[in-house]
Structure 1
Amino acid sequence: MDIAMKATIKTLIASVSIASSISSAIAADYTMRLAHQLPGSHHVAQAIEAFADEVKTNSNGRIEVQIFGGAQLYGPTEFHAAVARGHIEAASIVSLLWGGTIPEMQVFNIPYLMTGRHQLEQFPTSEAAAILDDKMASKGVKNLAWLLDANNAAFTSSDAPLIAPDDFQGTKIRGLSRVFDAGLIAMGASPATMPGSEVYQGLQTGVIDAAITSTDAVYSRRYFEVQDYAVASNLITVYQNIIVNPQWWESLPEDLQSLVESAASSTENVLLPETDEIDPTGIAKLEENNVEVTVLSDEQVDALRIAMQPAVEQAFIESANDGERLIELIKQL
């Protein structure tokens, strides 16, 4: 399919989505079209649906949030521009995608820096979050929410589990970002850049030996079909940011702004973990599919932290103007 045809189809989809909502938009004073990339079964997608319901109910129908999941309207890398330019009112963007635009957002890729329940509870109202909110504002969007996607990750492999730093020596592994990959390199691994959609095939064909993703995603992406081991810990944190167009936001009366902010805060709280335990449901699903799962002990976590964190912190500080300040603030949470 050529570029012109793709653009035409995208325009038609957007036009149909707008036309199909005309009747409901007439009933509402304000419409908030919110795009995201997640499947409907994803826990964050379900939380966004609940956010939409709360906004509509508590505003007595004055605001309607129309959700377009699964990257229906735009690709994930297009969400920021679409919202900033006012093509849609809102989007939910995974924090991993901000790295090239806002280097400071890669602070969440520093191993074991901010993954504990108490830190996650404190973060959305912290000075560190305020700094990142301002960074997003400087890029033409307003951040409404820090929705926790995951605070765990699993290293998957086939030949042997990746538990100790020495286990990574010579392993070809799908990396996450230039900053995070500095930690993999420090352990002797060879990180490879690869779109998420290609990882399964890369594992299947041996292009890469190992991968890293959340325990839930190991199951949903069916890595258990091509990997025998998963080593889980509270390694990094991944957020989804609900961003809105500032001009649209300013068009809302103050009472509706407060109502939307309250709903966003409620959604943040729903997604917080109740304990520091690592996704028992996700682990059980993997074990049911014959994956040998290791949950790292405190001593094993310390070994990985010592091996990875200094290199990742250094790469982060070199890439982000406010990097050192953010690390200090997060360590105080």
Structure 2
Amino acid sequence: MKRYARILAFGAALAATVISSSAAQAETILKASHQFPGGKGDIRDEMVQLIAREVAAAKVGLTIQVFPGSSLFKPNDQWNAVTRGLLDITSFPLDYASGRHPEFSATLMPGLVGNFDRAMRLNDSPFMKNIKSIIEKQGAIVIADAWLSGAFASKKGCITAPDTMKGQVIRAAGPAFEEMLAAAGASIGSMPSSEIYSGMQTGVLDAANTSSASFVSYRLFEQVKCLTAPGENALWFMYEPVLMSKRIFEGLNADQQKAILAAGEKAEAYFNEEVRKGDQLMIDTFKKAGVEVVEMSKADYDAWLAIAKQSAYKNFAAKVPGGEKLIEEALAVK
């Protein structure tokens, strides 16, 4: 009898081992990459981490490993990687891919968004449906929308009216802002936001514009004298969605796909609530560091918008197939 019990116990242990081994083999590991600092409160990293936690909690045989801080792919390499299925998930500033798909410059067009409420309305507009159709045709899908407001900062002085930009070398996120700033008399230094700090530290840059989140997480308050916060007249809004490889997504089973999409919805809701606090966090952080903080007046904003319409808007409509229609669709969202 005891021998029979030992055999049963051995059989149960063996079965448990086989089941455990099968479960381990069934577990699918996805890799998520982005350029933003991890573990320091950057809202874009937290979006991706939240998706990873939610997917793990769903217990559908999926694990998402998150690689922050450009540790897996360099910033500009992520688009090619995710659309080719070499990378599973990324939080990605879409305008970084505008060299391949110039339509994406519309997602970082000066003055086109204006505020967070309008950004939310844009997500379901014909404008964004056209942008997302391009994303999907190239091999990726959007699992969470995200719009970030942004600011200007300089080592030399405050950037308000266009004439305050003359003679400064500025890092501008994307071709549309570069065209507007160059038209105002600035020189352009192109680089990912993760390289702004070293650019300022080495004297390559005098100024930069980027998202409020990046101004804090990259500690740019250590390099600048004056910050121009978005305030009521925000020129800078950028679309930075969480993307997933379409091929990888379609290779998952129905429960796994459902878990990914549900996690994306939760991450988007979290982001939409928290991002509005980001501008104030940036202002408080920079003031605490002794940096002067100002805002553009309505007159400053209007002067910049006039320059943008004669440079960035005009060039986009002329050079990008369907560009004029995209701008019209965005402007039609009230």
Q: Is TM-score (shorter-chain normalized) higher than 0.5?
A: yes
State the one-letter code of the partner of 1:175.
Answer: A
- Do 2:44 and 2:91's aligned partners in 1 also have CA atoms closer than 8 Å? no
Paired with 2:120 and 2:320, the residues of 1 have a C-alpha distance of 24
Report the count of equivalent residues: 309
Paired with 1:293 and 1:37, the residues of 2 have a C-alpha distance of 27
- Do 1:90 and 1:243's aligned partners in 2 also have CA atoms closer than 8 Å? yes
1:52 equivalent in alignment to 2:52: yes
- Equivalent residue for 2:149? 151
- Cα separation, partners in 2 of 1:152 and 1:194, compared to 1, 3 Å: closer
- Cα separation, partners in 2 of 1:308 and 1:247, compared to 1, 3 Å: closer
- The 3-state SS of whatever aligns with 1:161 is coil
- Cα separation, partners in 2 of 1:78 and 1:194, compared to 1, 3 Å: closer
What's the TM-score once normalised by structure 2's chain length? 0.82
- Equivalent residue for 1:184? 181
Aligned residue runs from structure 1 range 78-93, under 5 A: 78-93=77-92
- The 3-state SS of whatever aligns with 1:91 is strand
- Do 2:211 and 2:238's aligned partners in 1 also have CA atoms closer than 8 Å? no
Query: Bigger radius of gyration, 1 or 2?
Result: 2
Paired with 1:261 and 1:283, the residues of 2 have a C-alpha distance of 34
**Deviation, structure 1 residue 158:** 3.1
- Cα separation, partners in 2 of 1:297 and 1:23, compared to 1, 3 Å: farther
1:213 equivalent in alignment to 2:210: yes
- Do 1:117 and 1:273's aligned partners in 2 also have CA atoms closer than 8 Å? no
- Equivalent residue for 2:9? none
- The 3-state SS of whatever aligns with 2:123 is helix
Aligned residue runs from structure 1 range 166-181, under 5 A: 166-181=163-178
Paired with 2:119 and 2:308, the residues of 1 have a C-alpha distance of 21
- Equivalent residue for 1:288? 288
Paired with 1:24 and 1:238, the residues of 2 have a C-alpha distance of 44
Paired with 1:24 and 1:316, the residues of 2 have a C-alpha distance of 54
- Equivalent residue for 2:17? none
- Equivalent residue for 2:220? 223
- Cα separation, partners in 2 of 1:29 and 1:322, compared to 1, 3 Å: farther
Give per-residue Cα distances to partners, 1:75-129, cap 9 Å, x unaligned.
2222233333333322222223111121111112211111312222122322222
- Equivalent residue for 1:66? 65
**Higher mean C-alpha deviation, range 43-52 or range 167-176:** 167-176
Q: Structure 2: which 5+ residue stretches go unaligned?
A: 1-19
What's the TM-score once normalised by structure 1's chain length? 0.82
Paired with 1:145 and 1:177, the residues of 2 have a C-alpha distance of 21
Paired with 2:22 and 2:145, the residues of 1 have a C-alpha distance of 28
- Cα separation, partners in 2 of 1:87 and 1:152, compared to 1, 3 Å: closer
Q: Identity of aligned pairs, percent? A: 28
**Higher mean C-alpha deviation, range 214-223 or range 235-244:** 214-223
State the one-letter code of the partner of 1:64.
Answer: T
RMSD between aligned alpha carbons?
2.7
- Equivalent residue for 1:243? 243
- Cα separation, partners in 2 of 1:228 and 1:54, compared to 1, 3 Å: same
- Cα separation, partners in 2 of 1:83 and 1:295, compared to 1, 3 Å: same
- Equivalent residue for 2:24? 26
- Cα separation, partners in 2 of 1:254 and 1:201, compared to 1, 3 Å: closer
Paired with 2:288 and 2:150, the residues of 1 have a C-alpha distance of 20
**Higher mean C-alpha deviation, range 197-206 or range 65-74:** 197-206
- Equivalent residue for 1:124? 123
- Equivalent residue for 1:8? none
**Deviation, structure 1 residue 140:** 2.2
Give per-residue Cα distances to partners, 1:49-80, cap 9 Å, x unaligned.
111222222x3343222222222222222223
Give per-residue Cα distances to partners, 1:251-286, cap 9 Å, x unaligned.
233343233223212212221257978711110110
Aligned residue runs from structure 1 range 261-300, under 5 A: 261-272=261-272, 279-300=279-300
Paired with 2:144 and 2:209, the residues of 1 have a C-alpha distance of 25
- Do 2:145 and 2:268's aligned partners in 1 also have CA atoms closer than 8 Å? yes
Paired with 2:55 and 2:191, the residues of 1 have a C-alpha distance of 38
